[in-house]
């Protein structure tokens, strides 16, 4: 499993693909994501509107909203200029997310983030008000297949157990395609402890994806977030590795007349 190797700093000069320039301020955090599965289900926008802060606009593809369960492993987690900290520099993580935008910047909104590191959970909850949960997690590779298990510490019924693997050739998703819409995002949105909306910018190279196969034994992650998904995920993508830097969050100006919610509107990315 490709968990070793230092953070790839060459990504800092690989910026031509970005939809907007990197922030002028200095980035503060590194992460490397490994053996990542994007498991997506289409859902009606009405199912998500009550669950997303009203200041964020659902981002839709041809009128459809999507929810994703995303298991992976993180390494090289660290603050710029600070040596790696034991117990927080590498651990499994599992996200449940959807897609929102503010003005012309599409991003990600997290319903939950489960992690095996107690320190990472506490830090992210305190600093960013992100809905992190500590979980008992394991990830191993056997015969080219990733075996992934996660159960939330405080509520083990919130769990995800699956086997997944890549199939087919690696590719960069084409601009305007659904795969591009679901993956090529360079910020997350959330509200702080005082309920103020913010954006947190990230940077990474273009995604290198493969089609994936997945056998899910148990998945209550979306239901725990208030979303019902039925059957196996119809959209599956795998990525072996992605190096990422992140910036400090920036509070959004709610007085901007364009900063409004148009939940349920159909927003599709431009076609290539």
Q: In this structure, how many other beta carbons lie within 10 angstroms of the beta carbon of residue 83?
A: 8
Report the half-sphere exposure of 6 (CA within 13 A, side-chain side): 4
Residue 264 lies in a domain: no
Instruction: Say what the pLDDT of residue 254 is.
Output: 74
Residue 205 lies in a domain: yes
Q: How far apart are CA 169 and CA 207, in angstroms?
A: 13
Residue 2 lies in a domain: no
Mean pLDDT of all residues belonging to the chain: 91
CB 192 within 8 A of CB 199: no
Residue 37 lies in a domain: yes
Residue 17 lies in a domain: no
Q: How far apart are CA 210 and CA 246, in angstroms?
A: 25
> What H or E segment, with its residue span, contains residue 180?
helix 178-183
Instruction: Say what the pLDDT of residue 42 is.
Output: 98
> Does the structure show a pLDDT above 80 at 4?
no
Residue 262 lies in a domain: no
Instruction: Say what the pLDDT of residue 2 is.
Output: 47
Instruction: Say what the pLDDT of residue 118 is.
Output: 94
Residues 214-260 have pLDDT tens digits of: 999 999 999 999 999 989 999 999 999 999 999 999 999 876 544 43
As a whole number, mean pLDDT of residues 3-11 equals 85
**How big is the chain by its Cα radius of gyration, in Å?**
18
As a whole number, mean pLDDT of residues 183-197 equals 97
> What H or E segment, with its residue span, contains residue 54?
none
Instruction: Say what the pLDDT of residue 86 is.
Output: 74
Number of domains in the chain: 1
CATH of the domain at 140: 2.40.400.10
Q: How far apart are CA 221 and CA 147, in angstroms?
A: 17
Residues 72-96 have pLDDT tens digits of: 999 999 999 888 777 789 999 999 9
In the structure, what pLDDT confidence band is assigned to residue 267 with cuts at 50, 70 and 90?
A: very low
Instruction: Say what the pLDDT of residue 69 is.
Output: 98
Predicted TM-score (pTM) of the model is 0.91
| Domain assignment of residue 200, given as a range | 24-251
Residue 175 lies in a domain: yes
Residue 75 lies in a domain: yes
């Amino acid at each position: 499993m490709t968990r070793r190797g230092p953070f790839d700093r060459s990504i800092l000069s690989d910026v031509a693909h970005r939809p907007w320039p990197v922030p002028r301020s200095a980035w503060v955090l590194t992460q490397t994501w490994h053996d990542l599965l994007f498991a997506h289900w289409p859902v009606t926008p009405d199912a998500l509107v009550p669950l997303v802060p009203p200041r964020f606009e659902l981002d839709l593809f041809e009128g459809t909203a999507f929810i994703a369960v995303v298991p992976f492993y993180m390494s090289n987690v660290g603050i710029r200029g600070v040596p790696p900290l034991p117990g927080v520099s590498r651990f499994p993580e599992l996200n449940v997310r959807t897609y929102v935008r503010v003005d012309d910047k599409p991003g990600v909104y997290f319903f939950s983030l489960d992690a095996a590191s107690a320190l990472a959970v506490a830090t992210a909850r305190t600093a960013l008000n992100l809905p992190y949960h500590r979980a008992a997690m394991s990830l191993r590779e056997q015969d080219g297949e990733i075996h992934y298990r996660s159960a939330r510490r405080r509520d083990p019924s919130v769990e995800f157990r699956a086997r997944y693997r890549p199939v087919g050739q690696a590719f960069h998703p084409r601009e305007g395609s659904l795969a591009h819409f679901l993956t090529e995002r360079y910020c997350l949105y959330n509200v702080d402890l005082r309920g103020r909306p913010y954006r947190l910018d990230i940077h990474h190279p273009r995604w290198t994806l493969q089609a994936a196969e997945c056998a899910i034994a148990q998945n209550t992650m979306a239901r725990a977030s208030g979303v019902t998904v039925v059957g196996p995920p119809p959209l599956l993508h795998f990525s072996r590795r992605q190096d990422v830097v992140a910036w400090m969050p920036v509070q959004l100006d709610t007085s901007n007349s364009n900063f409004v919610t148009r939940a349920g509107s159909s927003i599709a990315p431009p076609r290539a």
